[in-house]
């Protein structure tokens, strides 16, 4: 079941919210758990038991970590939780990747397992591991109620598309959370904004990309337009789902951390990764990079740590070589920045630094998403060859120009909305009492309008891809 579906918007969500606020406080987690399991079961009936099993594993390991705290058995329980969690993720997500590569290298014929990828396994595995690791480190409290722990793991707002919510972030709210009209209103508005990002912008940009890919005659410009369209599409898709998750969480009394902070205004790739998919970046920082020694080691080891972290970051996204290449691509750029490039940029006048930094960051971000979006390593080479004219393609033709002109308004609107420009204008208006009053009156109608337009688009059967099937 998708957030961007009629079933979710007009059946599942209203029923869940109604039941949640009708029952007494002691039953609210039970309603969320049942709703979350039903939400997942509707799309993954068999793998629902896998998620419950993974939750049981995390819960039991947590009890052992706490019971034997201070002894070797506590550490053994932590290691066991890592082995089980990463083992399940590796088996279901990466088995065929390794079999394919073994067959290719050793000329064997090991049959592929052809396992369907459990939706959200990358997200909920990392959430469970954050619990056991933080519990071992003393940064989280043990959860002794299995049903409450499973509610945390299966919580439907962030189950299939993130953000990765750490147990330590919401541990107090699992048992003790409050609700207010202000939080509910904020949550509804945030959800509406995310829904609009997904359906009105991301889906339209995805449609544009598909059209460009199916042109009767591809051109250099069509490849660049497709790359830019995907760069905008994936931002509005990811950040839109994060907005919807954060909004839904707030309705139910949870305060999830922000996951995106206008990454396309960054002046370096380092800054970009502080603003993009924040929950994933901080997860790898805290649970992989720092334990490896971070930057407090010899230079060769520091370089290795960066490459390990970013290779794993790429591999987390998918069982294909292009994802590993994508991760290492960013690892190399980050090393170049940290070792000398940022020092050079900082010596430039602030205006020049700002302009050059943003252009350079956007260029390498677009290139990065070409690698990310390719189906396999071979497609990466083919696409780059086309983008830089190595395939003998013409620069442009009438068909390419027609579709670029047709979709240019949505591209421009998306580019503007990917910056904080409109937010800053809104905040400036709200600084005045009269402006704040007017905006307070207009906002609810704006959210209703977004919902109605999105509903019309869904009823019309418009293009509605789900990008997270790859993760």
Q: What is the pLDDT of residues 174-200, one digit of tens each?
A: 989 999 999 999 999 999 999 999 999
- What pLDDT is attached to residue 160? 83
Helices within 138-268 (DSSP H only): 146-154, 167-175, 181-196, 203-213, 220-251
Q: Is residue 237 predicted with pLDDT exceeding 80?
A: yes
Q: Is residue 166 predicted with pLDDT exceeding 60?
A: yes
- pLDDT confidence tier of residue 379, bands split at 50, 70 and 90: confident
Long-range CB contacts for residues 114-120, cutoff 8 Å, separation at least 24: 115/91, 116/47, 117/92, 117/93, 117/469, 117/470, 118/44, 118/47, 118/50, 118/51, 118/92, 119/40, 119/43, 119/44, 119/47, 119/160, 119/468, 119/469, 120/40, 120/51, 120/159, 120/160, 120/161, 120/468
- What pLDDT is attached to residue 263? 98
Q: Is residue 408 predicted with pLDDT exceeding 70?
A: yes
Q: Verify that 116 and 19 share a domain, yes or no.
A: yes
How much of the chain exceeds pLDDT 70, in percent? Answer: 99
- What pLDDT is attached to residue 470? 55
Give the orientation angle of helix 398-417 with respect to helix 203-213, to 10 degrees: 160
Q: Verify that 188 and 108 share a domain, yes or no.
A: no
Which residue, 177, 200, 230, sits at the end of a domain?
177
Q: Is residue 468 predicted with pLDDT exceeding 70?
A: no
**Average pLDDT, stretch 139-168?**
94
Residue 150 included in any domain = yes
- What pLDDT is attached to residue 95? 96
**Average pLDDT, stretch 246-260?**
96
- pLDDT confidence tier of residue 44, bands split at 50, 70 and 90: confident
Measured distance CA(171)–CA(184) in Å, rounded: 20
Q: Verify that 207 and 118 share a domain, yes or no.
A: no
- What pLDDT is attached to residue 466? 66
Q: Verify that 94 and 211 share a domain, yes or no.
A: no
Residue 1 included in any domain = no
Q: Verify that 132 and 204 share a domain, yes or no.
A: no
Q: Verify that 204 and 140 share a domain, yes or no.
A: no
Q: Verify that 153 and 199 share a domain, yes or no.
A: no
Backbone φ/ψ region at 69: left (φ over 0), alpha (ψ -120 to 50), beta: beta
- What pLDDT is attached to residue 376? 77
Q: Verify that 203 and 269 share a domain, yes or no.
A: yes
Q: Is residue 416 predicted with pLDDT exceeding 90?
A: yes
Is residue 353 a contact partner of residue 345, using CB atoms and an 8 Å limit?
yes
Q: For residue 378, what are the domain limits?
A: 183-470
**Average pLDDT, stretch 262-273?**
97
Burial of 140 (0-12, 13-18, 19+ CB in 10 A): buried
Find the angle CA(306)-CA(308)-CA(309) to the nearest 5 degrees: 65
Number of domains in the chain: 2
Residue 329 included in any domain = yes
- What pLDDT is attached to residue 469? 58
Q: Verify that 192 and 74 share a domain, yes or no.
A: no
Which residue, 129, 146, 177, sits at the end of a domain?
177
Q: Verify that 150 and 258 share a domain, yes or no.
A: no
CA 41 to chain centre: 21
Which residue, 130, 152, 177, sits at the end of a domain?
177
**For residue 353, what are its two tokens?**
């630094």
Q: Is residue 23 predicted with pLDDT exceeding 60?
A: yes
DSSP-assigned letters across all residues of 113-174? --PPPPTTHHHHHHHHHHHHHHHHHTSS-----HHHHHHHHH-GGGTTT-----HHHHHHHH
**For residue 116, what are its two tokens?**
């369907």
Q: Is residue 389 predicted with pLDDT exceeding 90?
A: no
Q: Verify that 172 and 191 share a domain, yes or no.
A: no
Q: For the segment 95-141, what is each residue's pLDDT rounded down to a tens digit? A: 999 999 999 999 999 999 999 999 899 999 999 999 999 999 999 99
CA dihedral sign, ordered 32, 8, 205, 314: positive
Q: Verify that 284 and 388 share a domain, yes or no.
A: yes
Residue 193 included in any domain = yes
C-alpha distances in Å from residue 165, one per residue of 38, 126, 161, 252: 20, 9, 11, 15
Residues annotated catalytic, as ranges = 317
CB-based contacts of 88, cutoff 8 Å, min separation 6: 50, 54, 121, 125
- What pLDDT is attached to residue 208? 96
CB-based contacts of 91, cutoff 8 Å, min separation 6: 115
Is 379 or 52 the better-scoring residue by pLDDT?
52
């Amino acid at each position: 079941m998708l957030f961007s579906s009629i079933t979710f918007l007009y059946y599942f969500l209203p029923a869940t919210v109604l039941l949640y606020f009708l029952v007494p406080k002691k039953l609210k987690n039970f309603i969320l758990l049942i709703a979350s399991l039903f939400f997942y079961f509707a799309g993954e009936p068999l793998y629902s038991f896998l998620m419950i099993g993974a939750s049981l594993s995390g819960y039991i390991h947590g009890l052992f970590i706490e019971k034997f705290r201070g002894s070797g058995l506590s550490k053994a329980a932590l290691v066991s939780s890592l082995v089980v969690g990463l083992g399940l993720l590796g088996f279901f997500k990466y088995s065929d990747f390794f079999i394919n590569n073994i067959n290719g290298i050793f000329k064997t014929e090991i049959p592929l397992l052809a396992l369907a990828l459990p939706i959200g396994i990358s997200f909920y595995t990392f959430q469970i591991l954050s619990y056991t690791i933080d519990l071992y480190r003393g940064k989280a409290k043990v959860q002794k109620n299995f049903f409450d722990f499973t509610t945390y793991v299966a919580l439907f707002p962030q189950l299939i598309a993130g953000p990765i919510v750490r147990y330590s972030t919401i541990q107090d709210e699992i048992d003790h959370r409050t609700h207010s009209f202000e939080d509910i209103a904020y949550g509804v508005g945030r959800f509406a904004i995310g829904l609009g990002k997904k359906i009105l912008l991301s889906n339209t940009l995805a449609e544009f990309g598909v059209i460009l890919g199916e042109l009767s005659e591809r051109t250099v410009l069509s490849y660049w337009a497709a790359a830019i369209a995907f760069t905008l599409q994936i931002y509005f898709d990811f950040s839109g789902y994060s907005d919807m998750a954060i909004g839904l969480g707030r309705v139910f009394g949870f305060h999830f951390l922000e996951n995106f902070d206008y990454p396309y205004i960054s002046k370096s790739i380092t800054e970009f990764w502080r603003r993009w998919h924040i929950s994933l970046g901080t997860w790898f920082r805290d649970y992989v990079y720092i334990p490896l020694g971070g930057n407090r080691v010899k230079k060769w080891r520091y370089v290795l740590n960066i490459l390990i972290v970013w290779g794993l970051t790429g591999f987390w996204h998918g069982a294909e070589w292009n994802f590993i290449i994508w991760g290492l691509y960013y690892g190399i750029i980050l090393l170049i920045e940290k070792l000398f490039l940022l020092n050079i940029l900082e010596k430039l006048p602030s205006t020049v630094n700002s302009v050059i930094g943003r252009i350079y960051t956007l260029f390498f971000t677009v290139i990065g998403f070409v690698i990310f979006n390719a189906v396999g390593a071979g497609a990466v080479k083919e696409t780059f060859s086309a983008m830089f004219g190595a395939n003998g393609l013409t620069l442009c033709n009438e068909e390419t120009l027609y579709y670029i002109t047709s979709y240019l308004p949505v591209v421009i609107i998306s580019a503007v909305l990917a910056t904080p420009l409109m937010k800053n204008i809104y905040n400036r208006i709200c600084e005045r009492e009269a402006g704040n009053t007017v905006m307070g009156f207009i906002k609810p109608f704006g959210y209703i309008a977004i919902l109605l337009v999105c509903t019309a688009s869904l009823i019309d059967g418009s293009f509605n891809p789900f990008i997270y099937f790859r993760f």
